[in-house]
Amino acid sequence: MNFPIRINKYLSQVGFCSRREADRLLEANRIQINGKIPELGTKVEEGDEVKVDGKIVGAQRDEKVYMIFNKPKGIVCTTDSGVEKDNIVDFINYPTRIYPIGRLDKMSEGLIFLTNDGEIVNKILRARHFHEKEYVVKVNKPITNIFLKAMRNGVEILDTTTRPCEVEKINQNTFKIILTQGLNRQIRRMCEALDYRVIALKRIRIMHIRLDLPVGKYRLFSDQELKELYRKI
């Protein structure tokens, strides 16, 4: 979101209401910016507190944001828009600066968390916690029992052997895998080491959070989900 921004556009971009509805709210004096009722055409600056009917809209600078996002294929998990135009932060366009927890490579899709809470990022990313991440993977040729056994027992990639993991065949070319580590492009490299090529890769679960959103959509953690997340870390 580019600041300053007109109040009606701001309310539209944070998903509160349409611009037309925002104009009606403005005319009814139901909007406040930093405690004051704005005039038509008033612009919101970064860090401003916006309220509708006395309730804060969007996330303000000092609020903690915990987001669940269904990343589309082709979006890059970086916050640097100068390096990559198809980056995750610009795609979501959230009013507060947030950043992804971990990564999904550009050609993968599915569940990823975003936040502005650096402390929780560090806790989640610590490999010693062995947090589960579940994926559905489609490969370029029929899956054999030899392939499944090798994937489960560990594959040599990046000068190490991957941790033993759960792998279940779904159909001829598709399997489900649950990892407890996050090596760079781990699943793709594991498959390549066994002479398979990944056609599609989707993350459907991180710890207790299962993907429940359409592609390209996001939502905030529920209170119960956040409470369970803190319990697990």
Catalytically annotated residues:
105
- Locus of tokens 């040599």: 156
Token representation of residue 232: 């697990």
Contact between 179 and 123 under an 8 Å Cβ cutoff? The reply is: no
Instruction: Write out the two tokens for 11.
Output: 């309310």
Residues 152, 174: Cα–Cα separation, whole Å? 15
Q: Are strands 66-71 and 5-6 parallel, antiparallel or unpaired?
A: unpaired
Please list, residue by residue across 64-85, b when 16 or more beta carbons sit within 10 angstroms of its beta carbon and e when fewer do: ebbbbbbbbeebbbbbeeeeee
